[in-house]
Amino acid sequence: MAATQSPSSKTWAQTRGAKWRDQLDPMEAMLAPIDAPLIAALNLSERVRIAEIGAGGGATTRAIAAAAPPGSTIEGFDISPELVEAAKARVGNAARFTLADAAHFRPTEQFDRLASRFGVMFFEAPETAFANLLQWLRPEGTLAFAVWGPAKEVAFMASVREAVAAVIELPQPEPDTPGPCRYGDPSGLLALLEAAGFRNCDARPWRGDLQVGGGMPPEAAAEFLLASSSAAAPLAEAGAGEQIRASERLAAICAENVLDGTVWMPARVEIITAVA
């Protein structure tokens, strides 16, 4: 059976950051619909200092900077050197970017808002990480985090799994280990935030359709999804024949989800909010 491949902060810093960077444009185009509910939850009604955790290539940073009142500042933090460099090059003067492990780094000044789009599910020791992040916020400061819902309700992830598991044996992800759907049941994350000292912790589901790769026909969508999946490595190890079979199977699933020539898949996201 193939080894568990779910990424942790450590793998983002080592290899996964460069992989994400290589697919930034299609990945960020696919995830763009999440920015509106995340930014609404940040409640940017006055001038604020904002920190973004796991800022990646900076697309959400740029969206938050555009939505924030004049005089606001935003700083993106990420553990991947490749992604911090990419974000600096793409976002320019609209934001600052700092290479840091958010689980342990302590900024010199506190922030009014803490934001993250899919950047807080990878901590090796989440109790320590969220207790540290509490210290990033001034008293009464607020956070808004987007995390994926249950894997079976994130159709592009479920489809990749279905296609690959039809060809090679894939283990079920261990519960409560780093990975994209770790907080698919958000009650675990809410309990962690409360234990860390946050108040008024809340989760609200967002459901919508995501355009795979930002607008791709089925074969290209299948290639994009497989290449960005953690199942790519065990599939490559299995051999070229297995890769082709998984790719064809995924393309067939993608073909069932075409609208106007491109693949759309439904997803559930949880928007988490809390007060320091």
Ligand X SMILES: C[S@@+](CC[C@H](N)C(=O)[O-])C[C@H]1O[C@@H](n2cnc3c(N)ncnc32)[C@H](O)[C@@H]1O
Pair 133, 53: CB distance under 8 Å:
yes
Is 126 near ligand X (CB under 6 A)? no
102 binds ligand X (CB under 6 A): yes
Show the tokens assigned to 58: 């900076």
- Is residue 259 classed exposed, middle or buried when 0-12, 13-18 and 19+ CB atoms within 10 A define those classes? exposed
Residue that is written with structure tokens 């989440």 in the block: 126
Residues ≥6 apart with Cβ < 8 Å to 58 = 76, 86, 87, 88, 90, 91, 95, 97
Written as one string, the DSSP assignment of 45-110 is -S--EEEEES-TTSHHHHHHHHHSPTT-EEEEEES-HHHHHHHHHHHGGG-EEEE--TTT---SS-
- Among positions 38, 39, 42, 60, the unique one binding ligand X when judged by CB under 6 A: 60
By CB under 6 A, tell whether 55 contacts ligand X.
yes
> φ, ψ for residue 43 (rounded to 5)?
55, 65
Among 26, 56, 173, 184, binds ligand X (CB under 6 A): 56
Is residue 83 at the binding interface for ligand X, with CB under 6 A as the rule? yes
Per CB under 6 A, the list member of 63, 65, 74, 118 interacting with ligand X is 118
Instruction: Choose which of 80, 142, 211, 228 interacts with ligand X (CB under 6 A).
Output: 80
Q: Mask 12-51, x = binds ligand X (CB under 6 A)? A: x----x--x-------x--x--------------------
Q: CB–CB of 139/74 below 8 Å?
A: no
Tell me whether residue 181 or residue 235 sits nearer to ligand X (CB atom): 181
Give the whole-angstrom CA distance, residue 60 versus residue 119.
11
Query: Considering the rule CB under 6 A, would residue 78 count as an interface residue with ligand X?
Result: yes
CB of 252 to ligand X, least distance (A): 26
Residue 29 beta carbon to ligand X: minimum distance, rounded to whole angstroms: 10
What values do phi and psi take at 261, rounded to 5? 90, -10
Smallest distance from the beta carbon of 124 to ligand X, in angstroms?
8
Dist. CA 161–CA 246, nearest whole Å: 10
Q: Give the separation between CA 247 and CA 167, rounded to whole angstroms.
A: 10
**Rule CB under 6 A: which of 178-217 touch ligand X?**
none
Nearest approach, Cβ of 150 to ligand X (angstroms)? 17
Q: How far is the CB of 10 from ligand X (least distance, A)?
A: 8
Residue 111 touches ligand X, criterion: CB under 6 A: no
Nearer to ligand X, 55 or 221 (CB): 55
Binder among 101, 153, 194, 223 for ligand X (CB under 6 A): 101
Assess contact for 121 and 180: CB atoms under 8 A.
Answer: yes
Residues that bind ligand X (CB under 6 A): 9, 12, 17, 20, 28, 31, 53-56, 59-60, 77-80, 83, 101-103, 117-119, 122-123
